[in-house]
Amino acid sequence: MWPLQDLEGEESDMCVNHPVFSRMYIWGQEYLERAVGDVRTLQNERAYGRTLIVGAGSGLDVAALGVQVTELVLLEPDPLLCTYLRKEYPDTRLVPSSAEHMELEDQTFDTVITSLVLCSVFDIAQVLKEIYRVLKPGGQYLFMEHVKHDAPLAGMIQTSLTPLWKQIAGNCRLNRDIKSELNRSPLTLLRYELAKPNYVIPIVTGQALRQT
């Protein structure tokens, strides 16, 4: 695939550990892809150059990457998912690090990707600052995320379900306002589109840049 060296056994502080959810995620990943459809592929085909996947999970984003990707790094904090990724992608560099404190150098990547990740991080603002930090000037952030519904009633339902949902779904929150977080971040939002409407779990895709 992409000729990259491994992390050579270097470990980091992994504060995320949801073994039951992670096993269910691995088991159900094919069903997840059916629900997402071709949205992931259409988004990830835009990736180019040195690319970082944040919250790599079981590696679903890898197969969807376009031919312009020259190098690949996977970042994943969950120990069980890290074990799975090492087995499935032994030749790809894996960084076992949280998204809030990426153990990566500044201005390193042409593309950063998140797919259904911002819902479960502890601090979105900090994650977006880290994405900005590791992007090269002019680099792009591609995202596919589920978001809070614009309709008030649907948003209320999402909010009411979130306390239980986050307990069973690896800290996932149904009611996060990703667009507002992006607009407050140091990134410049270029594109934000509703890719898959749904009453409880609408999915958006988009692109933001690090301009300087």
Number of domains comprising the chain: 1
pTM for this structure? 0.88
In the β-sheet with 203-209, what is the strand arrangement from edge to edge? Answer: 93-95, 69-75, 49-54, 109-115, 135-146, 203-209, 188-196
Question: Is 177 a domain residue?
Answer: yes
| CATH code assigned at 24 | 3.40.50.150
Question: Is 2 a domain residue?
Answer: no
pLDDT the model gives residue 56? 96
Which range of residues forms the domain containing residue 119?
A: 19-209
Of 49-63, 136-150, 161-175, the range with the lowest mean pLDDT is: 161-175
Give the model confidence (pLDDT) of 44-80 as tens digits. Answer: 999 999 999 999 999 999 999 999 999 999 999 999 9
